[in-house]
Amino acid sequence: MSVSRILINLLTHFGFLSLVAFGGGNAVLPEMHRMVVEQMHWMSDGDFSRLFAVAQAAPGPNVLMVTLIGWKMAGLAGALVATLAMIVPSSVAVFSLSRLWMRYEHTRITRALREGVVPVTLGFIAAGGLLLAKAADTSWPFFCVTVAAALFTYATKYNPLWALGGAALLGIAGVI
Amino acid sequence: MHKPSSYELFRGFLTVGLYGFGGVLPWARWMMVEKRQWVDTVTFNEMEAFAQAMPGPNVINLSVVVGARYQGLPGALAALGGLIVMPFLIVITLGLAYDRWGAIPAIHDTLAAVSAAAAGLVIATAAKMLKPMITRRSAVRLLFCALAFTGVGFLGYSLVWVLLALAPVSVWLAWRRTA
């Protein structure tokens, strides 16, 4: 596939994804996986989960996975195109509607939207977690790391970065 | 309350983008409400609710709302740009390192371990969202959650179709509940 074809694909796919990304970046993770791994065959399951791990290691909002996918496919241009495609459409919607929303009191609509959309996006995020675990947990020690990291993040107030760091240490030490 | 200029919006969100490891929102709140006093708590909560109800990452939407409120389009661009520019450069640097050294066995193994943990973080995020939903009155919400999970996670349906099928019904039911 030529670079310009890849850029166009990144632009259209992520541009569309941006408008359905209710619940943020993690909610569209299953769809990203579907597109990048299953439909376009741009990378393997393992590549996808490792890129996600790299994205988690950077600060900032969780759209950076898209940046890395773009980067891997078409370098700096790919990273820019993918990131802008993921950010601009939803931001334009927010910008245009925020005026309206500030002018009138639309709290009931906002509440209904949020309350109605949250359960659905929660299902998507859980599905994303499942997909990532399936890709990353190639043997039972990895499975144990996933469970331990989930428990640590769920049950304590420590920064989840510690869980990633702990796993990195186990990896470096060759324990798993 | 202090009305920020576009430059201040850029600067403020620049620091938010750098601080936000594992969750940017708490930092955004702290910067906007406590440190720089751009908005009060009530306004922040309203903005946050709107940011959450719209597609796209919460914090990105929030930056657009705040920027637009004080400086219109230039303000929205300044806040959004400030928020995203450093994380973008950092993740590109990490991507560069991954390309260069990712195939080295020790690094490959380390990343494999980190990706197992990263899957755990996503699962924990879902669990945290689920917790307040487990009450007697939210059986309907749990049903929508289960349908979305099954459709996308097990049956492999496109997220777009599942969203289009479930979200309107779910929002309509929520609208009726809030009457």
- Complex ipTM value: 0.88
Do A161 and A102 fall into the same domain?
A: no
Do A58 and A98 fall into the same domain?
A: yes
pLDDT above 80: residue B20: no
Do A109 and A174 fall into the same domain?
A: no
> Which residues in chain B are contacts of A120 at CB distance < 8 A?
144-145, 148, 162-163, 166-167, 170
What pLDDT is stored for residue A103 in this prediction? 65
pLDDT above 80: residue B2: yes
- A-contacting residues in B 103-142 (Cβ below 8 Å): 106, 109-130, 133, 141-142
Range of the domain at A78: 3-136
> Do A67 and B49 count as a contact with CB atoms less than 8 A apart?
no
The number of folded domains in chain A is: 2
pLDDT single digits (tens) B122-174 = 999 899 889 888 877 788 899 999 999 999 999 989 888 999 999 999 999 99
Question: Of A48, A117, A139, which to mutate for an interface test with B (greatest number of B Cβ within 10 Å)?
Answer: A117
What pLDDT is stored for residue B22 in this prediction? 59
Do A84 and A51 fall into the same domain?
A: yes
Percent of all residues in chain A with a pLDDT value above 70, rounded to a whole number: 97
What pLDDT is stored for residue A106 in this prediction? 64
What pLDDT is stored for residue A104 in this prediction? 61
Do A72 and A101 fall into the same domain?
A: yes
- The arithmetic mean of pLDDT across residues B91-103, rounded, is 91
pLDDT single digits (tens) B22-31 = 568 888 888 9
Among A13, A67, A26, A91, residue whose Cα is nearest residue B118: A26
For residue B12, CA distances in Å to B30, B34, B149 come to 11, 12, 37
What's chain A's average pLDDT?
A: 90
Three-point CA angle B13, B16, B17, nearest 5°: 90
Among B141, B97, B152, B42, residue whose Cα is nearest residue A58: B97
**How do the residues of chain B divide into helix, strand and coil, expressed in percent and rounded to 5?**
85, 0, 15
Do A90 and A9 fall into the same domain?
A: yes
What pLDDT is stored for residue B162 in this prediction? 94
Instruction: Using CB atoms, pick whichever of A117, A118, A172 lies closest to residue B110.
Output: A172
For residue A21, CA distances in Å to A14, B9, B50, B68, B118 come to 10, 25, 14, 21, 20
Give the contacts of A79 (CB within 8 A, at least 6 positions apart).
Answer: A67, A68, A70, A71, B88, B92, B95
What pLDDT is stored for residue A105 in this prediction? 60
Among B40, B154, B56, residue whose Cα is nearest residue A22: B56
pLDDT single digits (tens) A2-36 = 899 999 999 999 999 999 999 888 899 999 999 99
Do A100 and A170 fall into the same domain?
A: no
**Structure tokens of B46?**
């309203």
- The arithmetic mean of pLDDT across residues B33-56, rounded, is 88
pLDDT single digits (tens) A71-106 = 999 999 999 999 999 999 999 999 999 877 766 666
pLDDT single digits (tens) A107-132 = 788 788 888 888 999 999 999 999 99
What's chain B's average pLDDT?
A: 90
Name the residue with tokens 């779910």: B170
Question: Of B24, B47, B54, which to mutate for an interface test with A (greatest number of A Cβ within 10 Å)?
Answer: B54
Do A129 and A142 fall into the same domain?
A: no
What pLDDT is stored for residue A146 in this prediction? 96
Question: Of A122, A132, A172, which to mutate for an interface test with B (greatest number of B Cβ within 10 Å)?
Answer: A122
> Do B119 and A28 count as a contact with CB atoms less than 8 A apart?
no
Do A162 and A110 fall into the same domain?
A: no
pLDDT single digits (tens) A30-55 = 999 999 999 999 999 999 999 999 99
Query: Which element (helix H / strand E) includes A51?
Result: helix A45-56
Do A48 and A128 fall into the same domain?
A: yes
Percent of all residues in chain B with a pLDDT value above 90, rounded to a whole number: 60
Ordered DSSP codes for B87-132: HHHHHHHHHHHHHHHTTSHHHHHHHHHHHHHHHHHHHHHHHHHHGG
Q: Are the beta carbons of A153 and A163 closer than 8 angstroms?
A: yes
Do A132 and A58 fall into the same domain?
A: yes
